[in-house]
Structure 1
Amino acid sequence: MTRLLVTATVLSSAWAQSGTEVPSLTISTVVASPSASSGATLPPQVDVPPKQDWCPSDIFCAGQLLQTVNVANLYIDPKTFVDKPTSQSPSSVASTFSGLNNNAPQNATFQQILDFVDTEFKGEGTELEALPLPEFNANPAFLGNVSDSLVKAFAQTVNGFWTQLIRGTNSSTLCNGVQCESSLIPLNHTFVVPGGRFREQYYWDSFWIVEGLLQSELFDVVNATLQNFMDELDTIGFIPNGGRIYYLNRSQPPLFIQMLHRYVTVTGDRSILDRALPLAEKELTWWLTNRSVNITSPSSGQTHTLYHYSVNNSAPRPESYLTDYVTANGDPTNSSTFTGLNLTQRSALYAELASGAETGWDYTARWVRGLNDRSLNDSFPSSWSLRDLEVRNTVPVDLNSILHRNYVLLSSLYPSNSSRASSHLESASRLQAGILDVFWNSTKLAFYDFNLRTQRQNTIFTAANFYPYWSGIIPEELLRDTSSTQERVQGAFASVRMVMERWNGTFPSSFVDTGLQWDAPNAWPPHQYIILSALRALPTNITSSPPISASNSSSSSFSLVPTDQLGLTESELPGQPLAPNQNSSTSGSAADINFVKGPTDNQMTVVNGGNPQGDQEGWAHTLERELANRHATGGSIPNVLPRLSDQELNVTQSQNNTGNMFEKFSNLDIDSAGRGGEYTVQAGFGWTNGVLLWVASNYGNVLESPNCPDLLASAQAEGGVGSDTGSSGSGSGSGGNDGGSGDGNDDNGAALSSRKMGLWGTVVLAVVVGLFA
């Protein structure tokens, strides 16, 4: 059934409207809950890993204290502990720990460790403070681009969310390393946090946050964000993963130059370049020095300098210590499974785990040996684990596309006749040649990662395939003006068409359901942004034709996907739930549950796919419109849209939604938050808000309130399966889960999700989705 309109609760406090009052920042006081009885002795431990040069703290970095506290398993999320400043001096804390259990802390009881943490540490996040947002504009100009009144009201609500995510370093509670110690890297300027456990400034999240801030006309906040990154380049030499000392051995996808370019382009403020350009050069040099590798192409024999993620690390990540510890050693509370790796194997695995975190995709089948290079029709490995990671052996197409775009955009920030400008364009040209030579597969019409172990392309198809197009790299096969041009170029994007017609949500990270959070069914806002941007980057001479139809009426949209492009047969694709214990067909036209004819015979679309732009729309614009219109709902917009009754919301099990923007959503259920990963689904959420506002600004004319059914009548008539038709109006409850639970309840509302919603989800996939309830 189609869901209803996504709605949101307008922030009621004054600061949400004016931005001049300081919102209260609740400091987390997660209650510790030991994993065993308080008097029980801690389980045995493996040897403590060596101290890491990049992380010298005896409290928050690899060492006996950190390992022992983690083995006690006091918190659901290991990050909780390392974000707690000490309440005493570091030497006092270390001395108290060493004295536990008659100077044998590794054999202490769970209660002793609990008492130690409660006494010696303060609440996580106390070094930060919420800040006012005096430049907040409740009616930024982009809202004028949004035609639909309900969509506009929703976007305006999300625009107000920045006031909840603005932070600064609290100088009055900041530790100096003498009286107390903290893992925080203090920042000198205002910043926006993603939300939830991510209470610091993060690197690649900030790119999409900046996109949204620019739409919201919060230019000072964008400048401050860039200044913080420049401070880190000045003092650290690179931009770390996030604002904590335990991130100092790794970066994230390098998007600083692109944030800088967007800021200068939108604001015209070139004064920032005096400081920024030398530091942008410094970052590029860091990546070239520390993350480049020479690859000889198997097809051309040419050698190219390309980039991969490769972190120097031989200990568990402090923020995920117990997770990594168990991955390497087994469950310490179960002697039958506590069969770990040897020291060399553990060190290599810890480097892989940290490298996986540097990618931003932690974790995915992309990095798993046996999953990333599986041949079509081969059976999947009978068993695999994160011990099979080979991140450092994987040369990712998206990372190289990001760096290519960095060179192009940095060149444009210099005077056109400068030697720097021409030098960066030459670097971009070389990198583009390498990307096309090493990653592009002209038979499958897709880009794939390259594997240093096998010396060939991996076979797994992921959303990373679209990054080269976003960076302006379009293979020659797609540009040639021949009779087969349309078949090729539409084939390259046929997976997007398939997702729109086959599933209720937006584009997943991959089509392999591994349980890892960067695989199916999870759909992430940044990927929807990249896919939309990739479609926008295509030249109009190859995008103006109408969509190609399947070869016959009994075929599904899968038939339009080039052979072996996805590395899966159609029957291996995830099924779309229609009702409890019932999925849609996995093959044939019945699999395309969302397909409908467009306003004319030569135009097709999907259920609630937005406002078609007539016969001249073209296939690429059709996909953009459909992807930008994924949405859900369940809340209300004061004075605009009333909340549905509990009886109606109960039909989709949405009556208890908390009204959160999540970091990820489900490809199978637009109402559901994503699942899997090392931590519970996070609410907030910075990059979700940013992508949503960008979508509203760029696609406001095609965003359309969905056609919504009468939930109660539909449920009664179809026994839980909604119909495709109905009256428009307030909508059904969206579904995400309640912001703190883990897996996102894929089955929530499944009985009513046999159709995709429309409206808006910001492409963001529904990100919007469930947003507020």
Structure 2
Amino acid sequence: MPSHAPYPQLDGPLFEMAQRNGVFPDSKTLVDCVPAMDPEEIDHRFEDEEDADLERFITEHFVLPEDPITGGDPATASMEWYIDSLWEHLIRDPVETREGETIIPLPHRSVIPGGRFRETYYWDSYFTAEGLAVTGRLDLIEEIAANFASLIERFGFVPNGGRVYYTSRSNPPLYHRLLDLLAHQRGPESVREFLPALESEYEFWMDGTEGLKPGETHRRAVGVEGGTLNRYWDDRARPRVESYREDVELAESTNRDSKGLYRDVRAACESGWDFSSRWFAGEGIETIRTTDLVPIDLNAFLYGMERSLAGWHERAGDDERAADYRRRADERRALVDEHCWSSEEGFYFDHAWAENDRTDAWTLAGTVPLFTGMASEEQAAAVAEVVEERFLHPGGLVTTLTESGEQWDFPNGWAPLQWMAVVGLAGYGHQKLATQIAGRWLDLNRSVFDEAGQMLEKYDVTGGSGEGLGGEYPLQYGFGWTNGVALALPELLY
């Protein structure tokens, strides 16, 4: 039998049999296990014991992952005190990885979200950092920025998360916002060493954009009428090891080409919105078409990156490069206005590039152009009206207007989307609405905490218990970005 070292928990007969048979309720458990002995020896032992009880074999040959402590006592702690006390459970020191461990070693401390998410995650880290800034943990923010620079140097981009199985995709590109936050807190000199990494990340997202004709694509680049925009992607087209059983069963339930299906599933994971009806051509996940879409939020993030790079080069006295990035940003904004903005609806939508038309999915991604300053005053006013009329609920903003059973859909609200909407609306002078959204969201956070003693990954903003619904895994507690936004919103608005 060929060796599947150094990761027998990611590939080979043991992996295949354990995942297909659902040895663990959560597929991620196996791939986060650490070999308790030489990985090749595990391979050989399994070859000799293929009829062995799978769970027993795994527990004897691997160290199973543990979740961080995330419970609190609402009778004795305020929500803010609880969040502050939780950092020590979510901060991870740099450690030497053991042979066969799937964690990506980092040179500095990091912060994990909590629950099943036992490693650092790219876009989570920015929203968490907003809360770290409020509590004065600026050294930790700088260490996160340095970790990302290290990852970019190693992989050419910041992976989705801090595991080897995440290295075929990234996440919403928010490194520039992390650096802007650090510069605001510690001054421009604190981030200058990270600017080459930011430019390298930009090159990753723009790979293949030159010379694309409308309807042509290359990885994350899409040719559209008038120029080039971007999409989410994944360089692998096979089942995710961390959700292997779910992906294989999905492929078996449809007549679609499995490689295309797997890539669209993975690309949705790069978006952070895994999963949402936003990506579906029909009613179910079997119709997912992430790579067929030009997402409004991704292109707004890249506009923000281009404006940020222009500003940094201007400060450095490099007017030529600053002008080039400003030109790129202006061109992107014009293309987004043409392909993603609906003057009739007064809102931004994703663009289906193959059909050369906007989708009809109403989502909070349409507020991200306000967050990055890409919208005009008139567009921002129209978006604010839509947000208030369609998305605002008793607990804050709902993610989409579609109830699909997926976690990035109605009735759920998510901290990062509340933050971006509030920051964006406030930045365009819609302070009253921004304050109303923030107040409702924080009241919901506090209500659930007072009842359950927990901060959640997601919330039902429409009423009831407030606990979020849907997803491939049970509701997670902790929770990094929820904590960060809960601390940062009052500082922003009150």
In the alignment, the residues of structure 2 paired with residue 57 and residue 327 of structure 1 have an alpha-carbon distance, to the nearest angstrom, of: 28
Distance in 1, matches of 2:237 and 2:310, equals 38
Structure 1 counterpart of 2:229? 306
CA drift at 1:293: 9.4
Distance in structure 2 (CA, Å) of the matches to 1:289 and 1:302? 19
Give the Cα–Cα distance (whole angstroms) in 1 for the partners of residues 322 and 387 of structure 2.
36
Structure-1 separation of matches of 2:272 and 2:213: 23
Alpha-carbon displacement from aligned partner over 1:139-173 (angstroms, at most 9, x marks no partner): xxxxxxxxxxxxx96435433332231112433xx
CA distance in 2: counterparts of 1:453 and 1:661, whole angstroms: 41
Amino acid across the alignment from 1:386: I
Would you say the 8 A contact 1:507–1:528 is kept in 2? yes
From the superposition, tell whether residues 622 and 271 of structure 1 become closer, same or farther in structure 2 (CA, over 3 Å): closer
Scaled by the length of structure 2, the TM-score of the pair is: 0.89
| Aligned counterpart, 1:123 | 64
Q: Quote the offset at 1:241 in angstroms.
A: 0.4
Question: In the alignment, what sits opposite 1:428?
Answer: 329
Contact kept, 8 Å, 1:505 with 1:670, in 2: the verdict is no
Map of 1:624 onto structure 2: 434
Q: Indicate whether 1:73 and 2:22 are aligned.
A: yes
Against the structure 1 CA distance between its residues 62 and 352, is the aligned structure 2 distance closer, same or farther, given a 3 Å change threshold? farther
Contact 1:208 1:526 in 2 (8 A): yes
Give, in angstroms, the shift of residue 505 of structure 1: 2.0
Partners of 1:206 and 1:681 lie apart in 2 by 19
Partner-residue secondary structure (3-state), 1:306: strand
How many Å separate the matches in 2 of 1:242 and 1:497? 34
* Percent of residue pairs identical: 28
Structure 1 pair 71/191, CA: closer, same or farther in 2 (3 Å)? Answer: same
CA distance in 1, matches of 2:185, 2:404: 41
Distance 1:671 1:698 in 2: 27
Partner residue in 2 for 1:315: 238
Q: Deviations over 1:497-555 (max 9, x none)?
A: 23577x322111101000001000010011111111121221x5xxxxxxxxxxxxxxx
Q: Does the Cα contact within 8 Å between 1:252 and 1:360 map onto a contact in 2?
A: yes
Aligned amino acid, residue 196 of structure 2: P
Report if aligned partners of 2:391, 2:400 keep a CA contact under 8 Å in 1. Answer: no
Q: CA deviation at 1:238?
A: 1.1
Structural mapping, 1:297-376, within 5 Å: 302-330=225-253, 341=255, 345-370=257-282
Change in Cα spacing, 1:292 to 1:458, as seen in structure 2 (3 Å) is farther
- Alpha-carbon deviation of 1:317? 0.4
Q: For 1:568-587, what aligned pairs fall within 5 Å after superposition?
A: none
Amino acid at match of 2:197: L
Rg: which structure is higher? 1
Residues 109-137 of structure 1: CA distance to partner in whole angstroms, max 9, x if unpaired? xx6212221111112159xx99xxxxxxx
Among candidates 240, 243, 261, match of residue 162 of structure 2: 243
Instruction: Tell me the distance in 2 between the aligned counterparts of 1:240 and 1:698.
Output: 29
1:436 alignment partner, SS class:
helix
Could you tell me how far apart the structure 1 residues matched to 2:12 and 2:231 are?
A: 29
Residues 496 and 623 in structure 1, CA contact (< 8 A), matched pair in contact too: no
Identify the structure with the greater helix proportion. 2
CA drift of 1:435 comes to 1.2
**2:205 alignment partner in structure 1:** 287
C-alpha distance after superposition, 1:440-491 (max 9, x if no partner): 1111111110002322100111001111111112247x17xxxxxxxxx654
**In the alignment, is the contact (CA less than 8 A) between 1:394 and 1:450 conserved in 2?**
yes
1:333-482 aligned at under 5 Å gives the runs: 341=255, 345-370=257-282, 384-416=283-315, 417-418=317-318, 419-475=320-376, 478=378
**Partner amino acid, structure 2, of 1:512:** T
1:98 matched residue in structure 2 = 47
In the alignment, is the contact (CA less than 8 A) between 1:448 and 1:458 conserved in 2?
yes
Judge conservation of contact 2:448–2:454 (CA < 8 Å) in 1.
no
Distance in 2, Cα, partners of 1:56 & 1:367: 36
From 167, 171, 185, the counterpart of 1:252: 171
Q: Is the 8 A contact 1:439 1:449 kept in 2?
A: yes
Cα distance 1:292–1:224, how it changes in 2: closer, same or farther (>3 A)?
Answer: farther
Task: Give 3-state SS (helix, strand or coil) of 1:217's partner.
Answer: coil
Q: Say if 2:436 is the partner of 1:524.
A: no
Runs of 4+ in 1 over 4 A off after TM superposition: 55-58, 290-297, 633-636
Give the TM-score of the pair, scaled to structure 1: 0.58
2:90 corresponding residue in structure 1: 165
Alignment deviations for residues 229-252 of structure 1 (CA, whole Å, 9 cap, x no partner)? 111111111110000000011100
Residues 671-726 of structure 1, C-alpha deviation per residue, up to 9 Å, x if partnerless?
421110111111111101111111111222xxxxxxxxxxxxxxxxxxxxxxxxxx
* Contact kept? 2:391, 2:401, Cα under 8 Å: no
Q: Distance between the aligned counterparts of 1:219 and 1:664, measured in 2?
A: 26
1:717-756 counterparts in 2 under 5 A?
A: none
The change in CA–CA distance for 1:56 and 1:237 in structure 2 (over 3 A counts) is farther
1:295-317 CA-to-partner distances (Å, cap 9, x unmatched) read 759xxx94221000121223210
Report the secondary structure of 2:53's partner residue: helix
| Contact 1:194 1:202 (8 Å CA) reproduced | yes
Partner Cα distance (2:233, 2:131) in 1: 30
Asked if 1 retains the 8 angstrom alpha-carbon contact of 2:303 and 2:374, the reply is no
Describe the SS at the equivalent of 1:70: helix
Q: Deviations over 1:67-112 (max 9, x none)?
A: 11101211111101100100111111111222234xxxxxx4xx62
* Residues 66 and 424 of structure 1: CA distance in aligned 2, closer, same or farther (over 3 Å): same
Give deviations 1:382-405, integer Å, cap 9, x for gaps.
xx4322110000110000000000
Larger RCO of the pair (alpha carbons < 8 Å, separation 6+): 1
CA distance in 2, matches of 1:369, 1:677: 19
Contact 2:448 2:455 in 1 (8 A): no
* Aligned mates of 2:180, 2:371 — CA distance in 1: 15
Counterpart residue number, 1:551: none
Partner of 1:337: none
**1:368 and 1:526 mapped to 2: Cα distance?**
22
Question: Alpha-carbon deviations, 1:602-623, whole Å to 9, x = none?
Answer: xxxxxxxxxxxxxxxxxx2221
Contact 2:422 2:435 in 1 (8 A): no
Q: Give the conservation status (yes or no) of the 8 Å contact 1:408–1:425.
A: yes
Q: Does 1:688 align with 2:482?
A: yes
User: Aligned to 1:305, what secondary structure does the other structure show?
Assistant: strand
Where does the alignment leave 5 or more consecutive residues of structure 2 unmatched?
A: 70-76, 216-223
Cα pair distance change 1:303/1:500, threshold 3 Å: closer
Change (3 A) 1:256 1:56: farther
| Cα distance in 1 for residues equivalent to 2:209 and 2:410 | 28
Q: How many residues of Structure 1 are paired with residues of Structure 2 in the alignment?
A: 472
Alignment deviations for residues 204-232 of structure 1 (CA, whole Å, 9 cap, x no partner): 00110111111111011001101111111
Deviations 1:352-391 (A, max 9, x none): 1111111100011111013xxxxxxxxxxxxx43221100
Change (3 A) 1:475 1:295: farther
Contact 2:468 2:475 in 1 (8 A): yes
Q: Deviations over 1:733-756 (max 9, x none)?
A: xxxxxxxxxxxxxxxxxxxxxxxx
Aligned Cα root-mean-square deviation (Å): 2.6
Q: 1:84 aligns to what? A: 33
Say whether the 8 Å CA contact 2:7–2:101 is kept in structure 1. no
Q: What is the CA–CA distance in structure 1 between the aligned matches of 2:210 and 2:120, rounded to whole Å?
A: 26
Change beyond 3 A, Cα 1:471–1:303: same
Tell me, in whole angstroms, the C-alpha distance in 1 between the residues paired with 2:371 and 2:213: 23
Question: Per the alignment, in what secondary structure is the counterpart of residue 92 of structure 2?
Answer: strand
Q: Distance in 2 between matches of 1:690 and 1:509?
A: 19
